[in-house]
Amino acid sequence: MSAFIHGPWPWYVAGPLVGLMVPLLLLLGNKHFGISANMRHLCAACFPANIRFFQYNWKKEAWNLFFAAGILLGAFVAAYLIANPAPVEVHEKLAAEVATYGITDKNLLPKEIFSLESLLTPRGLIMLTAGGFLVGFGSRYAGGCTSGHAIMGLSTLQWPSLVATIMFMAGGFLMANLVLPFILQLS
Amino acid sequence: MNNKSIAAPDKIDITKDSDFEVRVLNTVCVNESRQQHPWWHNLKYLVAGMLFGIVLVKSEMISWYRMQEMFRLQRFHMYGIMGTAVLTGIVSVWLIKRFNIKTIYGEKIEFHPRKFNKGQLYGGLLFGLGWGMTGACPGPIFAQIGTGAVAAIVILASAVAGTWVYGLVRDRLPH
């Protein structure tokens, strides 16, 4: 049991648990599962700057910010109280590929990219800031992210969410296979 | 709510939830409840978020390696998670509708059809490019920060900046 709790959880355990977030939030108070809207609420709360898109009653959506804060706390619990001491298992082809770019750290987030030192390199700066910017801009433009469209939207059989999910995947495939190698070879 | 100090440019009464129609197009997480509760009722969403955060970390969904393996078709893990999550969601929503299950406050659970707009194409593609690069979608960004990855704060700040710029140029974009 302890080995199960600490080790990486398999997909057939994690997937249904993620799916159960949909009825949980609906039953708790008619809330639709989705996370990217938090970034809009943060803009509305902190820098509305007279932009119409940020003129709304964000306090009514405060539940979403509580949910995000919970994710942060839960991740802390998972990473420190029930941490997995073993290095992350990485597919041998991927490990060999990224090793040629000097990425060998086997944490969930390799420190060669996800560290403050990496921010001082062109590679780290592009991946963290441009990547984050595209995630924020794109999810709002699309009207949701992987949770809102791919899980909540598909769970309610919305075809626009299927379109969005296909585009998410298309963008990810394009980036990871065609563009990212050029970014990773920067240092 | 005391938001009157913010001047809406085109005189929208932001003290009312007149923004609802606009929001349905633009934001997925819609607050359907008309109930008013004191703030601490939101703590139940904090607990729900904690459960989600634990799953995100323990299933390694926050890992850059897992995302790269998914986009390179090297591991089934993420496809298995997405597939079973959607299946669980579909069955749950069907049960809620079929048996007219109410919220814990006795409210009817509401669903609104999502309208198609071109944002789902262009925005979806832009999101995917960012996702393929950082391996982080919005939920995992918060989880990454929780695991102590300070660099993820930079990703979050950049994502908020991206959201803000979208709000700024929104009217000039094809939708």
Mean of pLDDT values over B109-116 = 89
Q: What does the pLDDT read at residue B29? A: 56
Residues 6+ apart with CB under 8 A from A125: A119
From the CB of residue B90, how many other CB atoms can be counted at a distance below 10 Å? 16
From the CB of residue A164, how many other CB atoms can be counted at a distance below 10 Å? 35
- pLDDT band at residue B12 under the 50/70/90 scheme: very low
Give the chain B residue whose CA is nearest to the CA of A173: B71
d(CA A50, CA B149): 33
d(CA A177, CA B8): 44
Residues 6+ apart with CB under 8 A from B75: A91, B66, B69
Is the Cβ of A182 closer than 8 Å to some Cβ of chain B? no
Decide: B49 and B43 in contact? Cβ < 8 Å: no
In chain A, what residues touch B3 (CB-CB under 8 Å)? 57, 59
Minimum distance, in Å, between the CA of residue A140 and any CA atom of chain B? 6
- Say what the alpha-carbon torsion angle A61, A67, A72, A77 is, to the nearest 10 degrees: 160
Read off the pLDDT of residues A118-130 as tens digits, 9 standing for 90 and up: 999 999 999 999 9
Residue ranges of alpha helices (H) inside chain A are 2-6, 11-19, 21-29, 37-46, 62-80, 92-99, 122-125, 131-142, 154-155, 159-174, 180-184
- Tokens read off for A105: 């750290």
Average pLDDT along chain A: 94
Q: What does the pLDDT read at residue B34? A: 67
CB-based contacts of B45-48 (< 8 A; 24+ apart in sequence): B45/A25, B45/A28, B45/A29, B45/A31, B45/A63, B45/A64, B45/A66, B45/A67, B45/A70, B46/A66, B46/A67, B46/A69, B46/A70, B46/A73, B47/A70, B48/A21, B48/A24, B48/A25, B48/A28, B48/A67, B48/A70
The full DSSP string for A17-38 is HHHTHHHHHHHHHSBPP-STHH
- Amino acid identity at A160: P
Minimum distance, in Å, between the CA of residue A95 and any CA atom of chain B? 9
Higher pLDDT, A85 or A11: A11
Give the chain A residue whose CA is nearest to the CA of B59: A9
Mean of pLDDT values over A93-100 = 96
Decide: A137 and B162 in contact? Cβ < 8 Å: yes
- pLDDT band at residue B32 under the 50/70/90 scheme: low
Q: What does the pLDDT read at residue A60? A: 87
Percent of chain B residues topping a pLDDT of 70: 80
Mean of pLDDT values over B82-93 = 97
Q: What does the pLDDT read at residue B39? A: 87
Read off the pLDDT of residues B36-57 as tens digits, 9 standing for 90 and up: 788 889 999 999 999 999 999 9
Residue A115: which region, alpha, beta or left (left: phi > 0; alpha: psi -120 to 50)? beta
Instruction: For residue B31, give the 3-state DSSP assignment.
Output: strand
Look at the block and give the residue holding tokens 């391996």.
B135
Average pLDDT along chain B: 85
d(CA A55, CA A45): 9
**Could you say which of B57, B130, B159 has the minimum Cβ distance to residue A79?**
B57
**Could you say which of A35, A59, A135 has the minimum Cβ distance to residue B131?**
A135
Give the containing element (helix H, strand E) for B80: helix B77-98
Is the Cβ of A23 closer than 8 Å to some Cβ of chain B? yes
Read off the pLDDT of residues A127-180 as tens digits, 9 standing for 90 and up: 999 999 999 999 999 999 999 999 999 999 999 999 999 999 999 999 999 999
Q: What does the pLDDT read at residue B30? A: 57
Q: What does the pLDDT read at residue B14? A: 39
Q: What does the pLDDT read at residue B10? A: 43
- Tokens read off for B148: 């102590």
d(CA A186, CA A137): 24
A138 to B18, B44, B155, B161: CA distances (angstroms):
25, 29, 14, 12
Decide: B116 and A159 in contact? Cβ < 8 Å: yes
- pLDDT band at residue B33 under the 50/70/90 scheme: low
**Could you say which of A12, A37, A68 has the minimum Cβ distance to residue B80?**
A12
- The whole model's pTM is what? 0.90
**Could you say which of B25, B89, B105 has the minimum Cβ distance to residue A151?**
B89
Read off the pLDDT of residues A55-85 as tens digits, 9 standing for 90 and up: 988 988 999 999 999 999 999 999 999 988 8
Instruction: For residue B38, give the 3-state DSSP assignment.
Output: coil
Mean of pLDDT values over A111-119 = 95
d(CA B1, CA B16): 9
Q: What does the pLDDT read at residue B21? A: 35
In chain B, what residues touch A154 (CB-CB under 8 Å)? 86, 89-90
From the CB of residue A33, how many other CB atoms can be counted at a distance below 10 Å? 27
Q: What does the pLDDT read at residue A171? A: 98
d(CA A141, CA B162): 10
CB–CB contact A26 B109 (8 Å): yes
In chain B, what residues touch A13 (CB-CB under 8 Å)? 59
What number of C-beta contacts closer than 8 Å exist between A and B? 582
Mean of pLDDT values over A45-50 = 94
- pLDDT band at residue B148 under the 50/70/90 scheme: very high
